[in-house]
Structure 1
Amino acid sequence: MFTSRPTVRRRVLAAAGTAAALALALAACGSSNDGGSSMPGMDHGSKPSASSSAKASPSMGDMPGMDHMVAGNGLSDSKDGYRLTSEDATLTAGKQAAYRFAVTGPNGKPVTDFAVDQTKRMHFYAIRSDLTGFQHIHPTMAADGTWTADLDALTVGSWRLFASFTPDSGAGKGNGFVLSRTVTVPGTETTTPLPAAAEVDGYTVAVKGEPMAGMAHPMTVTVAKGGKPVTDLQPYLDTYAHLTAFHEGDTAFAHLHPTTKANGDHGGPELSFNAELPTAGNWRLFLQFQTGGKLHTAALTLKVG
């Protein structure tokens, strides 16, 4: 469900020494071992893939924790001959669902050869149109190239489903793609305004940096609990935190790439990311990090100028 991601251009930011700090309290919107939701409209998951035990491919980026860079916003189901296909257009509200899909290549046949990217061959995301629901899943693939993403129960409304992957052969080998499709969950929909950041489970996240639309910019995230810096973050997807962003209004996708190298179960309190958000406006950030064997998902609204 995403667009091809050739290497993203880096723009040099000139205003040295003027980086303003934006500290927004945000809390883990829940913690879970299997991705269950702990908050209405907020789902998050890390379901294991049968193929996830492979080691990272040598073609991965050369920065610690950096996966292939993605260009574009992921709002198309096709790019450079690659297409995200699925027969599922509607899903039932309030029930777990197995969403099945495939990626076809320029030859029209299902792709079955994918590179490992941040320990997985496929990253799959579900986001509700008002950005109040979120799931991050690692689906499993059958021999014929059919993927199955086991979604937790969805609330009524329109959802966009993203697939992030890198072909390991063929015309697109080594290029990152983010393709997406929409599904409808029938029923009476209520739109929820983006909630303010709130402390949950005692975790508070502060974001320092002032991203500008379309410009690469370093960003630092700090994690605290009970007012004390957190230093026991455990590796998750080969880094100490996974940060995904969606744009308010069109659900455009962005992955903020981690640059902090994971080394043992003592990450934090500061984590570095390379932020490049292409469009001005509100972005909903979902930070996933692990402590004590539990995965936490924290949500934050960040305004980009």
Structure 2
Amino acid sequence: MNTPTKFAGFALGLVALFGVALGAGALAGTDDSEPETHEVRADKPATNTGPGGLASSDGGYTLVLADPITTATREATLRFRIEDSTGRPVTRYTPNHEKDLHLILVRRDTAGYQHLHPTLGPDGTWSTPVDLTRAGDQRVFADFVTADGQPFTLGADLRVAGRYTPQPLPATGTTATVDGYTVNMNGAVTPASTTDVTFTVTRAGKPVTDLQPYLGAYGHLVALRAADLGYLHVHPAGHPGDGNTAAGPGVTFAVTAPGTGDYRLFFEFRHNGTVHRAEFTVPVAETAGDPTGHTPTGTQTAPEPTGHGHGH
């Protein structure tokens, strides 16, 4: 993308997320195709101005789960529709970052994160395989752009019956390991001010300089505010093939914390045909600087921050 990042998710016109710190690394998906990336029309902002995904309805659109109550199982199918103000299913969208709709599924304690790309049926029903091994309330986020260019993130709860063992937030830090990779976060954050945060990917002590495009970018961020699961999905500055953006080891995001509190950060990158995900716990406090107390060095400037307040 080469347009400035805008959020309906945390504030119109603000760019991206928050600070620095870590939890655990986790795996991710498989190879993904790389069709043309489409732009979101800047003249059609979303109507919501608060954190994304906190409501199931916004701007005349509603996220409706086909089965909002289910049981824990590893192989399940999630079905849902996006309905307009008349109750009719929406069947036309503006592709954004190579997909018509991005689906995020995560338990209320932020465990079991899944980033999925469902299939749209002719009747307007979206469907996708999901892993519902973990019982407990799951939050479903539908991140999409309407046919007339309005970005939205809608959220609804999926209640999964079974033995529920809630987990505390993982510890904070600035380094995550996942699938043999090490991801370091570098950058300072203060609430309501924009700073650059860079994720640097290494493997066996060597920088990874051949990251592969995933959904039109070298990296993606999804942030969830732990207290209420307020949602933000952000993309980095530049894009593959623009003649300026390096394929690693660093991926830089322009970051603005919408407020204080703990956040969960999910950074995805693709290498050797596989998508990997590094997870971080990020405390954002009123005090300036790195929440871990470190003085940031080597912060990179994002030439063209990309992302959308609604998410994608």
Coarse TM-score class (shorter-chain normalised): 0.7 to 0.9
Does 229-238 or 257-266 show the bigger shift? 257-266
Contact 2:25 2:280 in 1 (8 A): no
CA distance in 2, matches of 1:53, 1:220: 24
Q: Which runs of 5+ in 2 are unaligned?
A: 1-6, 286-312
1:9 aligns with 2:6: no
Report the counterpart of residue 100 of structure 2 in structure 1. 121
The one-character-per-residue Cα deviations of 1:33-89 (angstroms, maximum 9, x if unpaired) are 27xxxxxxxxxxxxx7xxx8763335457xxxxxx9985321100011111112311
Does 295-304 or 82-91 show the bigger shift? 82-91
1:304 aligns with 2:279: no
Cα shift at 1:95? 2.5
CA distance in 2, matches of 1:127, 1:92: 15
CA distance in 2, matches of 1:81, 1:69: 10
Report the counterpart of residue 30 of structure 2 in structure 1. 33
Of 123, 129, 132, the match for 2:111: 132
1:56 aligns with 2:37: yes
Contact 1:114 1:121 in 2 (8 A): yes
Amino acid at match of 1:199: T
Report the counterpart of residue 17 of structure 1 in structure 2. none
The 1:7/1:31 distance shift into structure 2, 3 A limit, reads closer
Amino acid at match of 1:211: V
**Backbone CA RMSD of aligned residues:** 3.0
Amino acid at match of 2:38: S
Report the counterpart of residue 167 of structure 1 in structure 2. 146
Report the counterpart of residue 294 of structure 1 in structure 2. 274
Of 87, 107, 112, the match for 2:86: 107
The 1:273/1:233 distance shift into structure 2, 3 A limit, reads same
1:185 aligns with 2:166: no
CA distance in 1, matches of 2:47, 2:23: 26
Report the counterpart of residue 253 of structure 1 in structure 2. 231
1:276 aligns with 2:249: no
The 1:162/1:187 distance shift into structure 2, 3 A limit, reads same
Cα shift at 1:297? 1.1
CA distance in 2, matches of 1:164, 1:184: 20
1:80 aligns with 2:64: no
Amino acid at match of 1:144: D
Contact 2:22 2:279 in 1 (8 A): no
Corresponding pairs, count: 269
Amino acid at match of 2:116: I
Q: Identity rate of aligned residues, in percent? A: 35
The 1:252/1:31 distance shift into structure 2, 3 A limit, reads closer
CA distance in 2, matches of 1:156, 1:101: 19
Does 253-262 or 141-150 show the bigger shift? 253-262
- The TM-score normalised by the length of structure 2 is 0.77
Specify which structure has the bigger relative contact order, considering alpha-carbon pairs within 8 angstroms and separated by 6 or more residues.
Answer: 2
**Any idea what SS the aligned residue of 1:178 has?**
strand
Amino acid at match of 1:124: L
Contact 1:129 1:249 in 2 (8 A): no
Cα shift at 1:107? 3.1
The 1:214/1:236 distance shift into structure 2, 3 A limit, reads same
1:195 aligns with 2:170: yes
Report the counterpart of residue 301 of structure 2 in structure 1. none
Cα shift at 1:219? 1.8
Q: Which runs of 5+ in 1 are unaligned?
A: 12-20, 35-47, 62-67
Amino acid at match of 2:95: V
The one-character-per-residue Cα deviations of 1:97-119 (angstroms, maximum 9, x if unpaired) are 11111111133321111001000
CA distance in 2, matches of 1:149, 1:60: 27
Cα shift at 1:31? 4.7
Contact 1:156 1:188 in 2 (8 A): yes
Amino acid at match of 2:226: E
CA distance in 2, matches of 1:6, 1:26: 23
More strand per residue:
2
CA distance in 1, matches of 2:41, 2:200: 26
Contact 2:39 2:96 in 1 (8 A): no
Amino acid at match of 1:84: L
Contact 1:246 1:254 in 2 (8 A): yes
